[in-house]
Chain A
Amino acid sequence: AQSVTQLGSHVSVSEGALVLLRCNYSSSVPPYLFWYVQYPNQGLQLLLKYTTGATLVKGINGFEAEFKKSETSFHLTKPSAHMSDAAEYFCAVSVPGSARQLTFGSGTQLTVLP
């Protein structure tokens, strides 16, 4: 079975600073990996995904993530934080063939300080 670990349930950065949200996964087969964002009182919005091919994937709102198989990681980064980035971020893994369901990490709450 697959699993996801997000290190740090809360991350605070200053506006304009680098955002780094950590995600490590466990899977017995090559996984698909996703980052979702949840703004207060809203649903889950897909930020970006990795399935196959290029290991550095770019998403919406200037976010990107790099799949590192050797480290079983899929960390989310953004060079310069904006106040509007404050939200909860979820890393998720899907194993091809497993009825295509997602397993989520516990989430990281990002706070952006002025």
Chain B
Amino acid sequence: EPEVTQTPSHQVTQMGQEVILRCVPISNHLYFYWYRQILGQKVEFLVSFYNNEISEKSEIFDDQFSVERPDGSNFTLKIRSTKLEDSAMYFCASSVVTGGRNTIYFGEGSWLTVV
């Protein structure tokens, strides 16, 4: 079964450093997403991406964050100047609409620890 794959699975970074989280969505999917889950809290939507542009973003997704689909297969989340409160599990997801129905598939997550 096709999967969304994410790298790295775990990254530790110093406060103020830039981090890039990488994702390979399912190959025929057209919608891409990033979500995050701070330890012990609910999964929160960050951003959705379609047709090479952001289609929606939450209030969490401020200027510190950016997304890119650099080469037609990868989908990246960049966090500039990381803060302690950015420590979380970041989930990439992708979806395709078939028959008017959309199902979102998630990757295994990238656990980011900012120290």
Contacts and interface: CB of A to CB of B under 8 A. Distances in A.
Interface residues of B, number: 27
A72 B21 CA distance: 37
Interface string A30-66: 0010101000001111100101100000000000000
B43 A104 contact: yes
B53 to A, nearest CB: 11
Interface residues of A, number: 25
Q: Give the interface centre of A36, A101, A107 by most chain B CB atoms within 10 Å.
A: A101
Contact of A45 (B6, B97, B102, B106): B106
Contacts, number: 65
A2 B56 CA distance: 15
27 contacts: A32-B101, A32-B102, A34-B103, A34-B104, A43-B107, A43-B108, A44-B43, A46-B104, A46-B105, A49-B103, A51-B100, A52-B101, A90-B42, A94-B104, A98-B56, A99-B31, A99-B50, A100-B102, A101-B33, A101-B45, A101-B48, A102-B43, A102-B104, A104-B42, A104-B43, A106-B41, A106-B42
Interface of B: 6, 31, 33, 35, 41-45, 48, 50, 55-56, 91, 93, 95, 97, 100-109
